Structure 1
């Protein structure tokens, strides 16, 4: 997934989740959030630069939403980040480093 495609995907995913979040939707959204990177990193063995571009595209709308949200939307965003973190670390034998989701989320 190239950067532009990833940007559109993650922007729509995060905005849609925050607009329409319902009970249980954080888990589903977290799966949709992590799957493209997991597939590219683990299954397709994409180059590190490709993964880095996808991660920039993924976290940009999250950071933007964190700065703009408050109250219930902020809580929804935290719920999403906790679910993403729960997806664990991505590893592959040939990787220079492993990928961890939302390491700063507590």
Structure 2
């Protein structure tokens, strides 16, 4: 489980995409990470919106998008978030990719 300082460090990684519009969203086909989330609604609510800001509450990261949409991420034991180029193709353990014109914001967890 990451320490609070690591959670803050990971949260800041997606800062590269702040102010930019989400042009597409990819979710792993057999996603266990977002078990109780309506993934269709997630896609409808985030595509076309801009990442405005982020914060942490304990070990949970909260990302605020335009349209008053929020995405909460908990890294668990092995989760990570990172920024890749916009032409990024998801790998086996990637669970969520938010595509922007210049970046791909990626959530990955090797245990899932």
Output the TM-score relative to the length of structure 2.
0.28
More strand per residue = 2
Rg larger for: 1
Output the TM-score relative to the length of structure 1.
0.29
More helix per residue = 1
